[in-house]
Amino acid sequence: MRLATWNVNSLTVRLPQVLDWLGAHPVDALCLQELKLSDDKFPFDALRAAGYEAAVHGQKTYNGVAILSRQPLRDVVRNIPGFADEQARAIAATLDTPAGPLRLVNGYFVNGQEPGSEKFAYKMRWLDALAGWLRTELAQQPRLALLGDFNIAPEDRDSYDPEGLRETIHHTSAERAHFQALLALGLVDAFRLFEQAPKSFSWWDYRMLGFQKNRGLRIDHILVSPALAPQAQACYVDRTPRKNKQPSDHAPVVVELNL
C-alpha cells in the first residue's frame, strides 16, 4: 500500500498535475493540502473518474484539506475536535484494508509567520490541540498515519541553511519541540527510517531559483504509528512534479507499507 501527501497550493490550478501524477503513481491514498477552494468547488467527478473517492474540508481562497482514496472512507472528522478554528486545516478518515482499519490524519499545519507574532501563538495552540487529539486517536486506532505539510523543518539537515535560518519560522526550538512531542506519542518519521541523500527537501521557494539551486526545506512529513512502522518499506520525495510548468512549491512525499 502506498500513501502520499502533497501541498498542491491551489487544486484549481494544479488539478491536471494531480490527475497526471495519480495516473503515473496510483497511490492508495493521497492527502492534499492548501486546496484554496470551498467544498462546492471540489472536483469530485474528475477524481472519481480517476478512481478516487474524497473526504474534503475546504475553504474559499485559503487552506483546505482532502483525503483521496481508492477505497471508501468512513468516520470522517473535520478539524481538531474541541479546538475552535475557522480555518480548514485538518481532516481524518478511516479506510479498511486487508490487514484491518487504517486511520489517516491529514494536516495543513499553521505557518506561523514569525516568532512572537499572533500567528505564531496560534500555531503553538494548534499544535498543542493536535497532539492531544492524536493521543486519543492512537489509543483508539493503533494503525494510524499522520500526513501533511507540517511547516516545520525538524532537524538542521532538513534545511538548506540551518545556521542562517536558526530560530526563524519553521526552524524555531518551539516548533521543533512540538515535532518531538508528536514523536513522543509513539509516532515515527517514516522518511528517517531509510537512508536518504543529503539535502533531501520537499519544498522550495519560487523565488531566486530556489528549486534549481536546491535551496529547500523538508517540511512535508509522514509519521506512522508503532503498529505501522515495521511495515514501512520505503519513503521518498518525488521531485518530478516540482519541475512542471506552474508547479506547486511542494513535492509529493510517499510511503510504501507492506500491509
Measure the CA–CA gap between 71 and 167, rounded to whole angstroms: 42
Strands 253-257 and 203-204, sheet pairing: unpaired
Measure the CA–CA gap between 122 and 82, rounded to whole angstroms: 15
Contact, 251 vs 202, CB < 8 A? Answer: yes
Structure letter (DSSP) for residue 17: H
Which candidate in 108, 160, 189, 220 is catalytic?
108
Which candidate in 20, 122, 128, 149 is catalytic?
149
Distance of CA 162 to the CA centre of its chain: 22
Structure letter (DSSP) for residue 165: T
Let me know if 149 is a catalytic residue.
yes
Measure the CA–CA gap between 65 and 63, rounded to whole angstroms: 7
Residue with cell 496510483: 26
Let me know if 40 is a catalytic residue.
no
Catalytic residue numbers read 108, 149
